[in-house]
A and B are shown apart, each in its own frame.
Chain A
């Protein structure tokens, strides 16, 4: 009987059988099980309750259209300025929900070199292995290094959003005397 994460992964892909009882005695394997499940759902495009890949798509689109003029403010000033504007436009803690679509306040990267002209759609190798069409207007392609950086950023945001949903699902209770009184 094989054990370990490779075997778990293979079983998960339907490639082999596994003794569930034996696995359940191995807490580390069980924990990995849960993560593989989540990863599988993600790769197959399944969504968790409440998690909408539309948010990530919007983020990805916004990162593609990353604003260019950043060198007039320091990063911190830029964020603060925009957050303050939002707070002023809507009272107190009313939020960017007043904006119809997903609102991007700013994406700032260390060592970012602002482009002098409009950037075209990045030449990104998508899941199908193809390239995105390049705009016919005056443009230049983003250097490969920047493309990889944008992709890495998207992946991180995606991973954080996924993890947030998993943690919520597995949340333990907040029981105490007061809530017990509701019974």
Chain B
């Protein structure tokens, strides 16, 4: 009997140790990302990376980051193939450039893609929606890396595996996976160069480009009364407006949701005889749902599972 009790106590403490270990590893994951965010703001570097959506051809990018002596944050991302389509951030302003047209700038504290900048700069926000676990170590891009796993808390969104450089904590790789573990998107850094000071090109860009850009404000438009009754955990409504779609010019009531890792657009307009048919489409990572519900055409688009997109469409209600 004594042996049974001892064995039982041993089992309990072992289980407790494992549980504590799990807790400490999840705390470690968030702490690691927070430490990474703080470090990131002090670094001057350049990284080349590619973004791969199987089975499409990967797209290559260059990311340059710097902070000058006055503390001004600068960040430039552009494509390495074809039209560079640069996106440039100086502190809380992002300058957008398209081919053969003057740039315009918006009040935005983060670039929106192709890297998960919210994860890199604001990991606490991501922790609302995703459980974070420190899995272990690996070798990525020739570097020792710390491997983390991000799992949707309510299983409504895809999961991620993230690898950070063990020394600099810079991002080395990110995989977006469905619940079957199949790869939907991959970001892999192919080269990293750290510098003691900001790149001269970055400083020049910061000096010239904002002045040459049009300052734009988000349009004030009449809000609508639609809302999503139940949102996926940690997902928030970022924007609501009424605007015209490009090309076709249809006026839509619009809601933008985000959890920091994924953005979801919801469109509503009255059902007519020539409305877009009901359709559910998926191109590996991105889902497109179009439903006819109570005289409205509701479209949901985002890098989320089809079932989640369908559920969001059903959750749209009119505020009383």
Contacts and interface: CB of A to CB of B under 8 A. Distances in A.
A169 interface: yes
Interface in B86-123: 87, 96, 98-102, 104, 106-110, 112-114, 118, 121-123
A183 to B, nearest CB: 7
B120 to A, nearest CB: 10
B85 interface: yes
Contacts of A35: 244, 246
Given A174-B258, A179-B124, A105 B108 contact: no
B234 to A, nearest CB: 10
Contact of A93 (B37, B79, B179, B256): B179
B239 A14 contact: no
Interface in A20-39: 20, 23-24, 27, 30-31, 33-35, 37-39
Contact of B282 (A23, A93, A103): A103
B276 A98 contact: no
18 contacts: A38-B98, A49-B87, A49-B114, A54-B56, A55-B281, A55-B286, A75-B278, A95-B305, A96-B282, A106-B279, A110-B273, A156-B276, A157-B279, A157-B288, A159-B245, A160-B267, A182-B37, A182-B122
Contacts of A156: 245, 248, 250, 276
B106 A91 contact: no
B198 interface: no
Contacts of B277: 107-110, 153
Interface of B: 34, 37-38, 41, 53, 55-56, 79, 83, 85, 87, 96, 98-102, 104, 106-110, 112-114, 118, 121-125, 155-157, 178-180, 182, 184, 214-219, 236, 238-239, 244-248, 250, 252, 254, 256, 258, 260, 263, 265, 267, 273-274, 276-288, 290, 299, 301-302, 305-308, 310
Given A156-B250, A160-B245, A171-B108, A103 B281 contact: yes
Contacts of A48: 85
Interface in A72-102: 75, 79, 82-83, 86-87, 90-100, 102
A182 B38 contact: yes
Interface residues of A, number: 82
A35 B101 CA distance: 12
A109 B278 CA distance: 7
Nearest to A162: B246
